A and B are shown apart, each in its own frame.
Chain A
Amino acid sequence: MGTFLKKDILVLLRDRAELYILLLMPLILIIILGFALGGLLGGNTTAIQMQVAIVQEDDEQLGIDEFVETLIQLEIPEDRIQQLELVANQISPNTILTTMFQSDEFSDIVKTVDMTSSAAEQALKAGEITAILTIPENFTYRALQKTLLGEGGGSSLQVKVDETGSFRARVFHDIIDSFVHTFNFEAALHQSLGRQGEGELTISSDISHELGGIETVSRAKPVSSFQYYTIGMAVMFVLYVSTTIASKAYVEKQQHVFNRILLANKHPFVYLGGKFISGMIIAIFQLLILFTITSLIFEPLGDQTPNFLLGMFAISVVLATSVGAFAALLTAISVRFDNQGVINIFSGGVVSIFAFLGGSFFPTSGLHPIISQLGTWTPNGAALSAYIQWMQGLPLEFIISPLTRIAVLSILLLVVSFLIFPRRRSV
């Protein structure tokens, strides 16, 4: 078996192009994903930026003046009017809205431009802006009238977007929706308090108290998106090792290397076993090289204690067994049926689907639960969750179950491949 191993590894080492692809492509993709999506998937909303047009049809000062006018007409006592005017100035929704637009939090995401209605329409059609926020005529007056006097029908803000439901449009819509909800809530509090004679209460535009907080399952920080994609891409690309090994085997079959091996009185199973072990060894190396390079250049995957590294190595070995097992299975099928289609299907279709289900492209928690269930049974998905739990500093018992799943899968694949692989006579 030793000579077979040496042969397999030498054959791969001599084919530089393929070796580079196996090692460099995942690195490139890790960088793509880490940088392209890292900010946003990591919840860094400053990564989203949009231009929004504000069409201001409301004259705020006029609205407040008209409101005071109404108060006078209602023959409300003078001191009460003064009080209400003060409140009106404080709670004028237009001011609160403008203050919100100017806040750092908001202006990091949305750049607002004042426009006329027709200019805004054109800009939206031309794709220069994401949305138009229209503040209608008499907005201030109607809002105040309804909030403070309980009369009239209130007012409405209007958001017009280019494509309903597109990502940016949704973010902007949610921001305005949340503003409207908060304002209504505060106004409702105010009205109820007023009705109950509890006196006036100022409506605060800032209601975010120190609430909530984030806890992690262990003392470690949550896994960052860069770390996530390093692992996600590594466990996906390690699967390509199996197709590489199997396609080399198919060449050996075509060039009659396999038949000569049989003539040399070697049992065919030794050949297949060699494929299994060389797949495993190359997979381990690929994983180690990837993790080392990304840790050195970008971000370490965890604290570099011997215990941590040992665990990462153990998970890699278990994952590599499944890669070796896949290599054996693909070799067995392609040699037995003299067809390399199965290798193409695996590298083209199956690996992509595994990667998708296993969460290599993005965490599947946002998809249907069945998808993440399926994902736990893919070797890459199980390994991904094992790595992440280990990086979180969770105890050993947590990673046992995904590793067992990978091991069970590997054994099954190996058994099947030995059953399929041609015995002496059938060749």
Chain B
Amino acid sequence: MKSVFLMQWERLRRAPFMVGSFFILTILFVSVLGGLGAEYKLAVYTYSDETLSEQEVDVWLEKLNVSDAIEFQLMAEAEARAAVARGDVTIALQLLANDYRLLVAVDDPNRYIIENYVQQLYTEELRLKGIEEQGAGARFRADVERSMNDPVLSLVSMSIQGENSVQFNNQIHVLFGMTLYFSIFTILFSLTRVVEEKRVGTWDRLILSPLRKWQIYLGHLVYCFLIGYAQITIIFLIFKYGFGFDLGDRFGTILVIIGCFTFAIVALGMLIMGLVRTTQQLQAVIPIVSTAMAMLGGAYWPIEIVTNKIMLAASKATPIFYGLEALRDVVFQNKGLLALAEPLSILLLFGVICMGVGINLMERR
């Protein structure tokens, strides 16, 4: 086993191109995503026509730009229309005398955030104006503002998470998802060596050698496991120390989760290799299987926004779903290993089944 294992490292040393590129690509991509940060304002191009004077437009803009999350930028109508048409932005706002219009090209979830915000602001403003027109005094507006600063009701938000837990953050979710997703490629493509060896004939020579079958398999599998494990761990370390993401206090638990996930993917690789014969077909199958799994398992978006029952059931068949769930629970809910028994044991079970079926299929040929 050791010799087969060491041979893989020797191969990596001689031809580090592929694995190295995957490492670098993933780190670059995830770093760009993580490094850019989530703290930027959603820009909404804003324009108006002759019905509003410049002064009125300025007043509206000032009111609109109170929000921390959205920035309304004034520009010429033609420019804003062109930007929406080109797809630079998905939405633009047209200010009218006592009304507004949203200009859209593609349905976009942000539209509803913007719409709610603008609607609330307009409604309040128009009510204030209406009352002022009925002859309320000049101090009326200031008076309302003062009352608003001392509100009748307030809202207290809490969560059941422990003291040490981290606030859920969609960006961390996407980073987790992307890291796991890319690691699948590294692991599966490294495993294609087995198919390659069978094609070239070295596999037969290894079988003739005193080595046992399981030793040959184990040599390959341990190598792929370590490569995948290293990739995920390094990226998580970069998050933690490079970008200062708060990954909670349980890094040890995270390491265990990475181990279970990597094992499941290595096993999945064995299954795929049992089903697919040539390297060329593998090259077509691997990206497609990984991408489909990532989509179903919620690597690109939180799985909770998926409501279709069939899709939810399908998501439970992907290891990435359990990996992400476990990571989320550790980081955001500060759960320990025992509390994670369910997703982790499913990952291990998934791995054992895939491995068993996969090796059987490979040996049958």
User: Is A95 in the interface zone, CB < 8 Å from B?
Assistant: no
User: Is A5 in the interface zone, CB < 8 Å from B?
Assistant: no
* Contact (Cβ within 8 A) B104 A154: no
* Contact (Cβ within 8 A) B182 A352: yes
* Contact (Cβ within 8 A) B100 A211: yes
* Contact (Cβ within 8 A) B107 A222: yes
Most B CB contacts (10 A, CB to CB) among A176, A349, A366 go to A349
Q: Which residues of A contact B295 (CB under 8 A)?
A: 29, 32-33, 36, 361
* Complex: A92 Cα to B136 Cα, angstroms: 25
Chain A 20-53 interface 0/1 with B at a Cβ cutoff of 8 Å (1 = within): 0110010011001101110111110101110000
User: Is A339 in the interface zone, CB < 8 Å from B?
Assistant: yes
Q: Which residues of A contact B123 (CB under 8 A)?
A: 207-209, 211
* Complex: A228 Cα to B17 Cα, angstroms: 36
Q: Which residues of B contact A187 (CB under 8 A)?
A: 147, 151-153
* Complex: A29 Cα to B137 Cα, angstroms: 61
Most A CB contacts (10 A, CB to CB) among B145, B291, B310 go to B291
Stretch with Cβ within 8 A of B (4 or more), from A110-118, A162-170, A317-325: A162-170
* Contact (Cβ within 8 A) A147 B152: yes
User: Is A290 in the interface zone, CB < 8 Å from B?
Assistant: no
Min distance, Cβ B127 to any Cβ of chain A, angstroms: 7
* Contact (Cβ within 8 A) B168 A213: no
User: Is B322 in the interface zone, CB < 8 Å from A?
Assistant: no
Which residues in window 348-373 of A have CB below 8 A to B?
348-353, 355-356, 361-363, 365-372
User: Is A161 in the interface zone, CB < 8 Å from B?
Assistant: yes
* Contact (Cβ within 8 A) A345 B87: no
Q: Which residues of B contact A251 (CB under 8 A)?
A: 280
User: Is A326 in the interface zone, CB < 8 Å from B?
Assistant: no
Which residues in window 217-253 of A have CB below 8 A to B?
217-218, 222-225, 228, 240, 243-244, 247-248, 251
Chain B 300-344 interface 0/1 with A at a Cβ cutoff of 8 Å (1 = within): 111011111011001000000000000010001100000000000
User: Is B67 in the interface zone, CB < 8 Å from A?
Assistant: no
User: Is B5 in the interface zone, CB < 8 Å from A?
Assistant: no
* Contact (Cβ within 8 A) A224 B105: no
* Contact (Cβ within 8 A) B155 A21: no
* Contact (Cβ within 8 A) B105 A211: no
Q: Which residues of B contact A355 (CB under 8 A)?
A: 291
Q: Which residues of A contact B102 (CB under 8 A)?
A: 212-215
Given known A-B contacts A162-B159, A165-B170, A47 and B104 have beta carbons under 8 A apart: no
Given known A-B contacts A29-B291, A40-B109, A366-B42, A211 and B119 have beta carbons under 8 A apart: yes
Q: Which residues of B contact A47 (CB under 8 A)?
A: 305, 307
* Contact (Cβ within 8 A) A352 B287: yes
Chain B 127-142 interface 0/1 with A at a Cβ cutoff of 8 Å (1 = within): 1100100101101100
Given known A-B contacts A177-B155, A214-B101, A224 and B107 have beta carbons under 8 A apart: yes
* Complex: A370 Cα to B319 Cα, angstroms: 32
Which residues in window 270-301 of B have CB below 8 A to A?
276, 279-281, 283-288, 290-292, 295-296, 300-301
Chain B 165-190 interface 0/1 with A at a Cβ cutoff of 8 Å (1 = within): 00111100000000001100100010
User: Is B160 in the interface zone, CB < 8 Å from A?
Assistant: yes
User: Is B88 in the interface zone, CB < 8 Å from A?
Assistant: yes
* Complex: A22 Cα to B9 Cα, angstroms: 33
Q: Which residue in B15, B43, B167, B311 is a CB contact (below 8 Å) of A339? A: B15
Min distance, Cβ B132 to any Cβ of chain A, angstroms: 11
User: Is B31 in the interface zone, CB < 8 Å from A?
Assistant: no
Stretch with Cβ within 8 A of A (4 or more), from B18-26, B260-268, B351-359: B18-26
* Contact (Cβ within 8 A) A43 B283: no
Q: Which residue in A33, A189, A366 is a CB contact (below 8 Å) of B127? A: A189
Given known A-B contacts A192-B147, A217-B81, A163 and B15 have beta carbons under 8 A apart: no
* Complex: A157 Cα to B152 Cα, angstroms: 11
Q: Which residues of A contact B143 (CB under 8 A)?
A: 192, 195-196
User: Is B209 in the interface zone, CB < 8 Å from A?
Assistant: no
Chain A 166-189 interface 0/1 with B at a Cβ cutoff of 8 Å (1 = within): 111100011011101111110111
* Contact (Cβ within 8 A) A365 B302: no
* Contact (Cβ within 8 A) B283 A343: yes
Most B CB contacts (10 A, CB to CB) among A47, A155, A168, A348 go to A348
Q: Which residues of A contact B128 (CB under 8 A)?
A: 189
* Contact (Cβ within 8 A) B86 A370: no
Interface size class of A (residues with CB under 8 A): 35 or more
Q: Which residue in B100, B161, B285, B296 is a CB contact (below 8 Å) of A164? A: B161
Given known A-B contacts A160-B159, A217-B85, A25 and B140 have beta carbons under 8 A apart: no
Using a Cβ–Cβ cut-off of 8 Å, how many residues does chain B contribute to the interface with A?
111
* Complex: A215 Cα to B108 Cα, angstroms: 14
* Complex: A403 Cα to B126 Cα, angstroms: 45
Q: Which residues of B contact A379 (CB under 8 A)?
A: none
* Contact (Cβ within 8 A) A365 B153: no
* Complex: A184 Cα to B104 Cα, angstroms: 32
Q: Which residue in A143, A173, A216 is a CB contact (below 8 Å) of B152? A: A143
Given known A-B contacts A25-B292, A217-B84, A349-B182, A388 and B105 have beta carbons under 8 A apart: yes
User: Is A392 in the interface zone, CB < 8 Å from B?
Assistant: yes
Q: Which residues of B contact A336 (CB under 8 A)?
A: none
* Contact (Cβ within 8 A) B153 A163: no
Min distance, Cβ B106 to any Cβ of chain A, angstroms: 5
Q: Which residues of A contact B156 (CB under 8 A)?
A: 156-159
User: Is B214 in the interface zone, CB < 8 Å from A?
Assistant: no
* Complex: A22 Cα to B157 Cα, angstroms: 49
* Complex: A161 Cα to B165 Cα, angstroms: 14
User: Is B103 in the interface zone, CB < 8 Å from A?
Assistant: yes
Min distance, Cβ B117 to any Cβ of chain A, angstroms: 10
Q: In chain B, what residue has the closest Cβ to A157?
A: B155
User: Is A331 in the interface zone, CB < 8 Å from B?
Assistant: no
Min distance, Cβ B225 to any Cβ of chain A, angstroms: 18
User: Is B203 in the interface zone, CB < 8 Å from A?
Assistant: no
Given contacts A35-B311, A174-B116, A185-B148, 9 further A-B contacts (CB under 8 A): A15-B280, A40-B305, A121-B160, A162-B161, A168-B304, A184-B148, A198-B136, A215-B101, A222-B104
- 20 A-B contacts (beta carbon < 8 Å): A17-B276, A21-B288, A47-B307, A48-B305, A157-B153, A157-B156, A159-B157, A162-B333, A174-B116, A178-B116, A180-B151, A187-B151, A217-B81, A223-B106, A247-B279, A341-B18, A344-B18, A344-B185, A365-B91, A398-B82
What 9 pairs across the A-B complex have the smallest Cβ distances? A341-B18, A188-B147, A348-B185, A165-B168, A184-B151, A36-B311, A385-B87, A192-B143, A368-B36
